[in-house]
Amino acid sequence: MNLPNYFLADLPPEAALTPVLIRECCQTLKRNREQYLAAQSTSHLAGVLSEAAANWLNPDDPLRRLALESSPSQTGFSEPILRRGLDGFFRHFAPANLEQLIRQDLGHSQRLDQWSGGETEIEDRRSALGFGPEFLLHVTAGNLPVPALMSLTLGVLVRSAQFVKCARGGCFLPRLFAHSIYQVDPKLASCLEIAEWEGGRRTDLDEVLFEEADCVTATGRDSTLESIRSRLPRRTRFLGYGQKVSFGFIAKEALTRFHLQKLATGAAEDVTAWDQMGCLSPHLFYVEDGAAISALQFAEHLAEELARRETVEPRRPLEADQAAFIQIRRDFYEIRAADGDQTQIWSSPDSTAWTVVYEADPLFQISSLNRFIHVKATAGLDEALHHAESVRGRVSTVGLAASGPRIRDLARQLARWGAARICPIGQMQNPPLTWRHDGRPALGDLVRWVDWERD
Amino acid sequence: VADNQPAAFGQNKTAMNENLTLEQYAQDLGDAIRRESMGLRTEAVPSQNSRRESETGLPDPEFNELALCLFQLQLEANAAYAKFCRKRGGRLPEHWTEIPAVPALAFKEWDLTAIPPEERIAVFHSSGTTSHRPSRHYHHAASLALYEASLLPWFERHLEEAFTKPNLLFLTPPRDRAPHSSLVYMFDAIRRRSEMGPGRFLGEADPLTGEWRLDSSAVVEALEEATRLNQPVALLGTAFNLVHLLDGMAGQDKVLFLPAGSRVMETGGYKGRSRFMPKDELHKLVTERLGIPSGRIVCEYGMSELSSQAYDQAIGLGRGTQSAPARVFHFPPWARARLVAPGTNREVGEGETGLIRIYDLANAWSALAVQTEDLGIRRGAGFEWLGRAARAEPRGCSLQAAGGFLP
């Protein structure tokens, strides 16, 4: 399937991008927005997005098929991994869900359409209208495709002209997503632009975008975000989503013989989703002492589950340096394991496909990712959090398995400690649309408010 | 990982080896190397072009026999290595390529040695990682004798040249100031035993931190003196020693043209002690500031965990000054490098990238098979060195473990 040239990312790689071209492109996007997108209703936009998403879920859709067929070469992920990731993402796109997101973040589903207000506002004879940025720039990281698709979706809902600047090798799926919007509403797609260049290599192009945008979102390494922020004009709003880690906690009452398989399956689901490359992917699972099943046994089950997954959802092939990194860390734990029963390691034979390391020591351990997971025994959540102090403030998601009255207490303790999201194990890489990204309302943060107080 | 057949190792000593001890093995190997009967004489002159295994000086059956014999001795005498092999499980190796390679970092965790504590007279540490336990390679008199027997001929093969006797200028501290550096020990052995000219150590070590320093103006003085006398020099040091020297020279705005016959031996390693400079750039600067062409800059690859070294070329041979080909390292005939695909025991194909694994027959009292953390590209029986694998930098929003994050 050959895609028509609608976006900069459709141009052949040799096509030279220039600052003049980018400037013209920004102005066209703004003009198109003014003439079309700014006047569209929320229900129309939600309809376009959910229709595009429905196409993505249709096994015969040509764009979906193209994405899946070219996944290993274009995204690096094996086809089953991309399929699971995309299905999990687009499944949330029902119009009702999109409206619910607006209601949650903005207080009323018509906030972006007309003067409206919640109960207290109406009592006070107040109402408000929200506006998205005129020109929204997204600078996206290359590790996984979903955040860029989510950013585009939010930008459509707030009626912004949008430019997605992808990391090198990262434009494939954003580009296909933009084409899928084009198929449903070409005029809407004319307010979107997708392009790709290596970060830091084309500061001349960056400068143009930074001048034109009134709001910039960026995902990636903290150093990248800092560099972008420092180069933006003061008036430009900046929403940066930096480096995060996630982990799981399994309380003793949840780890019964009956639940063991379900938990191991869920944990494996979290580890294999996007090959563990996202910031919602777990680096380790804490297992509380005193359960019917020990942390060691859980680790062993998780290893079995990862071995099984590898046969149906293989991990992507790695560059030699990444694979070598896994091997070196395996060597380290193998040496530890030779010294006694405080450390144990299970790993895929004859490949680096998956690795499980059990340690009795509860100190938080950052993983080398690519399906390398730590399992640690702990006396309880207090102790686990004490040993996770090194990542405090940088934790996105905690997968929590607990039950009864205790789950509420554990969740509160995690929240106070600083976790931004708590969810069941097995759902870590599958947040709903209404997810508050790193603890912030992602849609709400895009909106500029106008309040109207009447006599 | 499974602990399958712990009994497989350490049994069935072959008749040939019946009464052999590590001492006898080391003695025999050292004698053979000194007699040049370890394939040195038949060793093809190294050039920039890769060689095939069959061209190296020691036929595979002979290397194999020695390696298996040494492995057997090490299993009996080196408890830590034996523990590692038992844990790894599997069959007793029938070919040297099946000998379990102990990760270099095991030298940090364990006393990986067959030398009893009371006999240890030297220990070599890996450099750089000051905050962690350093790796420890223990030596006694016999092991140091073998180390010297191993290091000298291969050094001479690459750095010596008929008719010129350069003064040896070592950019590291002397042995008494850096007693735990295997590199400095090697330089000292070269100073004592090489037939090249007299040698001097020009570096210093901070008495408190042990950090190496170089007074570049003193080095420049020595180099200027040599230039005046038209006395060729051999400058030997680590990459960071050279960076210090070149930075110092740039600061003084010095450019020298060292006498004909001069040469540089540079060994990898920055270890955070100076700014990092890509090799090509470093060599270009050596040429610009010291007048030594790339064909007379020899790179060495060595580790404190080993007893043999690899070199990338012999001076004056091969490399032109234009568009130098990749530098390919070769060990002496009594050591071999395999480039292994991570996660497997498979050697990568020609031109492919793998982890460098070294089988060193001169590592008698520690472990003959060492898995390094370095990546290289396989070039014939040699390798092109790429650097430490732990440098791999992730992209995106998830924190990923980087080098040095291990507990």
pLDDT (tens digit per residue) in A162-177: 999 999 889 999 999 9
| Cα B260 to Cα A395, B48, B162, B291, B292, distances in angstroms | 61, 22, 13, 9, 9
The alpha carbons of chain B give a radius of gyration, in whole angstroms, of 21
E strands within A335-408?
A: 343-347, 355-359, 372-378, 395-401
How many percent of chain B have pLDDT more than 90?
65
pTM assigned to the model: 0.89
pLDDT at residue A127 is higher than 90? yes
Cβ atoms of residues A384 and A362 within 8 Å: yes
Contacts of B390 in chain A (CB under 8 A): 325, 328
Contacts of A142 in chain B (CB under 8 A): 395-396
Please report residues of B whose CB lies closer than 8 A to that of A241.
397
Does B11 have pLDDT greater than 60?
A: no
Distance from CA of A187 to the nearest CA of B (A): 32
Q: Do B397 and A361 touch (CB under 8 A)?
A: no
| pLDDT mean over A273-294 | 96
Query: For position A43, what pLDDT does the model report?
Result: 95
The nearest CA of chain B is from the CA of A332 a distance in Å of 7
* A-B C-beta contacts closer than 8 Å: 143
Contact residues, A window 194-233, toward B, CB-based 8 Å cutoff = 219-221
Residue that wins the pLDDT comparison between A394 and B209: A394
Residue B407 confidence (pLDDT): 35
Mutation to test the B interface, candidates A331, A355, A394, most B Cβ within 10 Å: A331
Q: Tell me the pLDDT of chain B averaged across its residues.
A: 85
From first CA to last CA, the distance across chain A in angstroms is 60
Tens digits of residue pLDDT in B192-208 = 998 888 999 999 998 88
At residue B274, the pLDDT reads: 58
Nearest to A363 among B103, B401, B407 (CB): B407
* A146 alpha-carbon distance from chain centroid: 6
- Identify the pLDDT of residue B51: 44
Can you give the pLDDT at residue B196?
Answer: 86
Express each pLDDT in B306-318 by its tens digit: 999 999 988 876 5
Are B375 and A320 inside 8 Å of each other by CB? yes
* Residue among B344, B391, B397 whose CB faces A241 most closely: B397
> Searching chain B, which residue's CA lies closest to the CA of residue A322?
B392
Nearest-angstrom CA–CA distance, B357 and B372: 6
pLDDT of B56:
55
Phi-psi region of B210 (alpha: psi -120 to 50; beta: other; left: phi over 0): left
ipTM: 0.85
Phi/psi at A431 (5° precision): -75, 155
Q: Closest Cα of chain A to B81: distance in Å?
A: 10
Residues of B with a Cβ under 8 Å from any A Cβ are: 1, 83-84, 87-88, 103, 105-106, 109-110, 341-346, 352-355, 371, 373, 375, 389-392, 394-401, 405-407
Q: What is the pLDDT of residues A67-106, one digit of tens each?
A: 999 988 999 999 999 999 999 999 999 999 999 999 999 9
pLDDT bucket at A121, cuts 50 / 70 / 90: confident
Which residue on chain B is closest to A240 by alpha carbon? B397
pLDDT higher than threshold 80 for residue A417: yes
Q: Provide the pLDDT for residue B4.
A: 39
Closest chain A C-alpha to B327 CA, distance in angstroms:
20
- A123 Cβ under 8 Å from any chain B Cβ: no
C-alpha atoms less than 13 angstroms from C-alpha of B27 in its C-beta half-sphere: 5
User: Comparing A4-18, A149-163, B104-118, B233-247, which segment has the lowest mean pLDDT?
Assistant: A4-18
Query: How far is the C-alpha of B353 from the C-alpha of B342, rounded, in Å?
Result: 10
Nearest to B158 by CA among B190, B183, B136, B120: B190
pLDDT at res. A172:
95
pLDDT digits (tens, 9 = 90+) for B282-299: 999 999 999 999 999 999
The per-residue pLDDT for B245 is: 95
* B43 has a pLDDT exceeding 80: no
Longest dimension (CA), chain B: 68
- Residues of chain B in contact with residue A167, where contact means CB-CB under 8 angstroms, are 395-396
**Which of A11-15, A68-72, B39-43 bottoms out in mean pLDDT, i.e. has the lowest?**
B39-43
Name beta bridge partners: A218. A139, A240
Partner residue facing A167 (CB), from B87, B354, B395? B395
CA distance B149 to B307: 10
Interface test with B, best of A219, A247, A335 (most B CBs within 10 A): A335
What would the pLDDT profile of B138-192 be if each residue is shown by its tens digit? 999 999 999 999 999 999 999 998 888 999 999 999 999 999 999 999 999 999 9
In whole angstroms, give the CA distance from residue B206 to residue B213. Answer: 7
The alpha carbon of residue B174 is apart from the nearest alpha carbon of chain A, in Å, by 33
